[in-house]
Amino acid sequence: MKRIAVIGSSGGNLYNLGGKDPDKLVGEIAAQCNSAGMELGAVQFIAASESMDTAKETTSAVLYGWNTEERRLAKRLEGTLKEVNEAAFELDADMAALIGSGQIDGLIVMSADPEGANGQAIRAAAEKSIPVVGTGGTSMALIGSKGAKVIAASGTTGTTNRTRAVSFITSLCKHWGMKYVPVLGSPDGYKQPAGNPWRRINLKGIMQSSLPGFIAMAIVLALSQIPALKGLSAVFDIMLKALPVVLAVIAAKQISDMDEVSIVAGVIAGTLSMNGGIIGGILGGIGAGLLVQFLFVKCVQWRFPMTTVNIVAGGFAGLVSGLIMYYLVAPFALQAGEFIKYLINLAISFNPIVAGVIGGLLIWPAILGGVYHAAILPIVLLEMEKTGNSFLGAIDMVGLVMVSAGITLANLVAPRDKGEAAVAAPGFLINMGFGTFVEAAYPFMFSNKWVFGGAIAAAGIGGGLVGVFQVRGTAYVPSFMGPLLSNNVVGFTISMAAALLLAFAVTLVANKTSRGRKTADRNLPAQQSVS
């Protein structure tokens, strides 16, 4: 196993690009090392409380080493920058000894001081001719002049912790002829290999993550209906155009997960995909995400400077995907979205009551069968794209959220046994306060067929009322806000109340019947013994 050492400091420009958070900066490198089958064997890192461009000898700083047992950074000294630099010479000597004894196979350098705190390690690396990669234009030039075997060097502008780490390990693996697949994920769990980016395309995840943007748009639409806030209608129009950008950014980020590089690519692609609506935004973001990873890896393999790698990966990926959407795909994507909305409106106009009843009756089977987030939620968002609210969104609030609230309320007021009240309370509060967590009703529905049947019946009747009043609304908001964000405040309120009260009543009766049976069963042996 190849062992890597990291030396350097939080730097000047690097400070603002991840250097001020040493744990994440080194953590990214450790994650990519693990993925490549390497080991991070040693670290000597000086972290100042401000950029080295403005730091003074009295600036507070921390000297970090590497805890090989716990595989994390360990503080060696806290003090002024002068004190830390002096203490760093001792750690530099230890690093040089490791390199000289052949225990370090490669060196990663970031904003190092080859004339001072890192001089001994650099000289040892040059003598052993181990490969060196790093960032920091001035320091890397000095390191090269000392005879070190620099195989990849770059500035820090435009880089991130992740893109730097991936670039470092890619260069080292190419030098050694090793296979390497970058890992993506949160800083706390590097367990997701990048692998084939096509497998990370998750439409359900993209839709769910973008939901806050749609809710924000619905709120703006509702506020614009107030006479004093009519000017917000222009804001609504802007937000409507921005939705494809939101979806494109989320799609690009989920697929490539190269931090800011992915975000930039997603913004560019989404901006050029606006004419394709939310379907266009999703497709543009997916294209950008796929191209980001492809171009990033290729540019690193071609040994482009890190800044150029990020510019090509972020800028070109977004531009290429966006232009394809703008000129070729956007019109078809827009028509696909319009066709889906046309079918929904056709069903509603044919018979809104029947459409509402069918929607209500199917909403629980859909969420229990895993179809809701894959099929219904995208349709809700497509409806909201046009009007800011949705017919199916109203059925969601009435048939799922209010029914779940009714079931949990009944188990809070008159539970079958005392323990169920504690389970029901948070579910009821979350349903009413946040318009989500319908899963709180599952334990009660699955344990009693009458409650299950009552839930479906209440959803069907509530959906029918949504059709009667031809309501368009949304879930995922506090229940008291639901009617205010709809096109029919009174009609939505009646529909919500009816579904909640019916589910409450059915569950209440079912609970009392169940308690009566349990009481009778407990009394039966006593009666038999008396007779």
User: The CATH number of the domain where 75 resides is what?
Assistant: 3.40.50.2300
What is the count of structural domains for the chain? 3
Could you read off the pLDDT of 414-456 as tens digits, one per residue? 888 777 888 888 989 998 988 888 888 998 999 889 999 999 9
Which has the closest alpha carbon to 343: 373, 379, 384, 394? 379
What per-residue confidence (pLDDT) applies to 126? 93
Please give the share of the chain, as a percent, with pLDDT higher than 90.
36
Could you read off the pLDDT of 13-36 as tens digits, one per residue? 888 888 888 998 999 899 899 888
Check: CB of residue 471 under 8 Å from CB of residue 488.
yes
Check: CB of residue 452 under 8 Å from CB of residue 446.
yes
User: Which residue's entry shows tokens 């019946």?
Assistant: 457
What per-residue confidence (pLDDT) applies to 525? 57
What per-residue confidence (pLDDT) applies to 61? 92
Q: Is residue 328 part of a domain?
A: yes
SS3 label, residue 42: strand
Give the span between the Cα atoms of 97 and 225, in whole angstroms.
72
Per-residue pLDDT at 528 exceeds 70: no
**Helices marked H in 273-351:** 277-301, 306-310, 317-324, 330-350
Q: Is residue 72 part of a domain?
A: yes
Other CB atoms within 10 Å distance of the CB of residue 177 = 6
The per-residue DSSP string of 424-448 comes to: HHHHHHHHHHHS--GGGGHHHHHH-
Give ∠ CA 502-507-462 in degrees, rounded to 5.
Answer: 25
For residues 397 and 460, membership in a common domain is answered with: yes
In sequence order, what are the beta bridge partners of 62?
Answer: 47, 78
The per-residue DSSP string of 453-501 comes to: HHHHHHHHHHHHHHHHHT--B-SSS-TTTTGGGSS-HHHHHHHHHHHHH
What per-residue confidence (pLDDT) applies to 531? 43
For residues 296 and 436, membership in a common domain is answered with: no
For residues 468 and 449, membership in a common domain is answered with: yes
For residues 286 and 175, membership in a common domain is answered with: no
For residues 301 and 424, membership in a common domain is answered with: no
Check: CB of residue 394 under 8 Å from CB of residue 490.
no
- AA letter at 191: K
In terms of residue numbers, what domain contains 91?
3-193
Give the span between the Cα atoms of 276 and 147, in whole angstroms.
55
What per-residue confidence (pLDDT) applies to 523? 60
Could you read off the pLDDT of 148-187 as tens digits, one per residue? 999 988 777 778 888 888 889 988 998 999 988 777 654 4
Last residue of a domain, one of 314, 337, 360: 337
What per-residue confidence (pLDDT) applies to 122? 93
| Mean pLDDT, all residues of the chain | 85
Could you read off the pLDDT of 353-404 as tens digits, one per residue? 998 999 899 889 888 877 776 667 777 877 777 677 888 889 999 999 999 9
Q: Read off the pLDDT band of 283 (50, 70, 90).
A: very high
For residues 396 and 515, membership in a common domain is answered with: yes
Between 478 and 494, the higher pLDDT residue: 494
Q: Is residue 345 part of a domain?
A: no
For residues 252 and 361, membership in a common domain is answered with: no
For residues 382 and 479, membership in a common domain is answered with: yes
Phi and psi angles of residue 436, each rounded to the nearest 5 degrees, phi first? -155, -175
Q: Is residue 105 part of a domain?
A: yes
**CA torsion through residues 451, 456, 457, 458, sign:** positive
Q: Is residue 344 part of a domain?
A: no
CA distances from 9 to 79, 82, 124, 219, 355 (A): 15, 14, 19, 46, 64
Between 376 and 267, the higher pLDDT residue: 267
For residues 357 and 448, membership in a common domain is answered with: yes
For residues 174 and 284, membership in a common domain is answered with: no
- AA letter at 351: N
Please give the share of the chain, as a percent, with pLDDT higher than 70.
93
For residues 314 and 222, membership in a common domain is answered with: yes
Q: Which of 190-210 are b and which e, b meaning 16 or more Cβ less than 10 Å from the residue's Cβ?
A: beeebeebeebbeeeebbebb
For residues 399 and 498, membership in a common domain is answered with: yes
Question: pTM for the complete prediction?
Answer: 0.69
Last residue of a domain, one of 281, 315, 337: 337
What per-residue confidence (pLDDT) applies to 192? 46
State the average pLDDT over residues 461-476.
Answer: 90
**DSSP strands (E only) in 114-231:** 131-135, 149-154, 183-184, 192-193
What per-residue confidence (pLDDT) applies to 437? 82
Q: Is residue 184 part of a domain?
A: yes
Could you read off the pLDDT of 311-350 as tens digits, one per residue? 888 889 999 999 999 998 888 887 877 777 777 778 777 8
User: Which residue's entry shows tokens 């370090």?
Assistant: 104
Q: Is residue 416 part of a domain?
A: yes
User: Does residue 338 come out as left (phi exceeding 0), alpha (psi in the -120 to 50 range) or beta?
Assistant: alpha
Q: Is residue 169 part of a domain?
A: yes
Could you read off the pLDDT of 477-492 as tens digits, one per residue? 888 888 988 889 999 9
- 43-57, 84-98, 246-260, 381-395: which range is least confident on average? 381-395
Last residue of a domain, one of 164, 193, 222: 193
